[in-house]
Structure 1
Amino acid sequence: MASVTKFTQGAVFNQLRHNLRQIAHSGNPDIDPARLRQDYVLSPDRGMSDYDYFQERLSQLYVYGRNDVKVMAGWVVTAPQDLEQEQYDDFFLAVYDFLENRYGEENVVQAVVHDDEGGQPHLHFCFVPVVEDKKHEEGYKVCANDVLDRRELRNFHPDLQRYLDEHGLEDAHVMTGVTRAQGGNRTVAELKSEREQEYEQETERPELDFGKPKVEQELHF
């Protein structure tokens, strides 16, 4: 349903351009140029490019001086297979609100819905992972590992599902890949138990190389 990727500063510029389809010869063969007009932006217009805003926000925070520091994170949230098409816009708006509230409006770098590919439409939500840090005069620092820790990854889907349910989107089943056509959803307790087992297995595996730049780290669940 959702995956999160962490980016070093060297990868941010191209990732933001890719999300906005500003790269002339994208390596993604699934993009249909005839459907580009179906993509749309949910993040606020701040009167500057997304990358400029990213740099501005970063300048307000303490950042460790290493090239491998993950200074941006990006969730990709896909519309459930069994969600009615007329509910897509409401779904993505609710997901955006959930993520903005969770990570802070000031930390949102970019949010783009893609509906120009062969599969389900999906939201790219990029943000600066920020935590409080009283050791430095800025008061806050960038730390993706603290923001996207085990608790956060374990609770993400249940919390999102609860938010959707509370906002009238009970048919948007984000906690399982099992659609109604495949027999319906499992209970919340079952899903939480399965998620915990999956995460334990993921943390025990060595980091895999899927052919992406080494500056990125991606977690799927």
Structure 2
Amino acid sequence: MTCENYNCTDANSVEREQERTLTVKNLDHVNYDPAKSDRNIVLEHDSRADQFKTFRAYVKDYKEQEHITGRFNVDTTNDRNATKVLSCFVMSGSHDLMASMTREEQIEYFRAGLDFLKQEYPTFHIVDSRVHYDEKGLPHMHTSMLPIHEKEDGSRSFNVSKHQKGKDYFRGFQDRFYDHMRERYPNKDLQRTDPNRDHDKKLSVREYKENQDFKRELEQEHKRLVAKNEKLKAIGKELDQAYEQSEKAYQYNLEVERYCQEQGITIGQYEKQCFWADRDCGNYPEPECHNPDRNIEPEREAPTHSRMEHER
């Protein structure tokens, strides 16, 4: 059983996502399949919350109707000064435990966890408690509660810190939860997680969203770099081909120079021989026969006498 307390700014999206009343436009931003949300089981729900478009409006109305007094700051964006108005608990179990139960048994298992929360926080008001079956992982229960503290004189206020005192509170909380579930399920091999293990800090909703946004930015940057890398590979391949062609041309030019020196002719005379050979008047010089940039037929018909005279 884990717990996270939220101010009013974060509580709205947390509660709406738990109830699956968020308008989902981009499924990449959620971790559940809306098409399967009808499989979820509602254990308890305050129908008064359905009358309001936002959680802020609901909690303000609840405060007024139930005569809640004390500090109540829900309009600030400063998390330190904002009143914690929602306590959210998530209860799960191991894969082997869930696999050993039928769906009905799983629901009863989570009801037992809800009973524990009612015993642990008798003055808290349950907004919603339901079992999610529409996510990829194991079924689990979300329970959201208004953290109401009642004084000896009967006055009430939003004050979660009065119920979760001290740095070792949640260790005792887990011990009591374990004892409660062992009593309910004596035949199950339930095990308590090592209380001395290091616990990673649980991300808040805002931190989680920022982390998801950063993750998407990294994925987009990765795609951009992959595309750029492919483009650079294509450019590199073109450069290799151009270098290969230039190397062949360089070797060909060396052959032409050597041939001209051996024959005692100039480059201009060599090009003139190539010119007339193109018009079937004579044979190509030796280097031209191996020119990589030309497609020269190996044999040509000898030109007629009248054509040679005409060319002259």
TM-score if structure 2 supplies the norm length? 0.52
Quote the Cα distance in structure 2 between the aligned partners of 1:53 and 1:65. 14
Structure label with greater radius of gyration? 2
- Indicate how the Cα distance of structure 1 residues 37 and 3 shifts in structure 2: closer, same or farther if over 3 A, else same: same
- The total of aligned residue pairs comes to 188
1:171 aligns with 2:178: no
Q: Name the one with the larger strand percent.
A: 1
Output the TM-score relative to the length of structure 1: 0.70
Equivalent position of 1:81 in the other structure: 95
**Aligned in 2, Cα 1:212/1:6: closer, same or farther, shift over 3 Å?**
farther
Structure 2 runs not aligned, ≥5 long:
77-81, 211-312
- Read off the aligned partner of 2:92 and give its amino acid letter: T
Amino acid at match of 1:81: H
Shift in Å at residue 30 of structure 1? 2.6
- In structure 1, what is the Cα distance between the partners aligned to 2:121 and 2:44? 13
Does the CA contact (< 8 Å) of 1:17 and 1:23 recur in 2? yes
Between the aligned partners of 1:53 and 1:73, the Cα distance in structure 2 is 15
The residue that corresponds to 1:61 in the other structure is 68
RMSD, aligned CA = 3.2
Partner of 1:147: 163
Q: Which residue of 2 aligns with 1:23?
A: 22
Note the alpha carbon deviations across 1:133-153, whole angstroms, 9 max, x for none: 35xx76222112222233431
> What's the offset of the Cα at 1:172?
6.3
Q: Match for residue 42 of structure 2?
A: 41
More helix by share: 2
Partners of 1:117 and 1:128 in 2: CA distance: 25
1:71 aligns with 2:85: yes
Deviation of 1:129 after TM superposition, in Å, equals 1.6
Cα shift readout 1:94-151 (whole Å, capped 9, x = no counterpart)? 00111122212661111111110011111111112222335xx762221122222334
Q: Deviations over 1:25-80 (max 9, x none)?
A: 16644312332121111115x54226576445433322414331111110111132
Give the % identical residues: 20
Q: Which residue of 2 aligns with 1:210?
A: 207
Amino acid at match of 1:9: C
Higher relative contact order structure (alpha carbons within 8 Å, sequence separation ≥ 6): 1
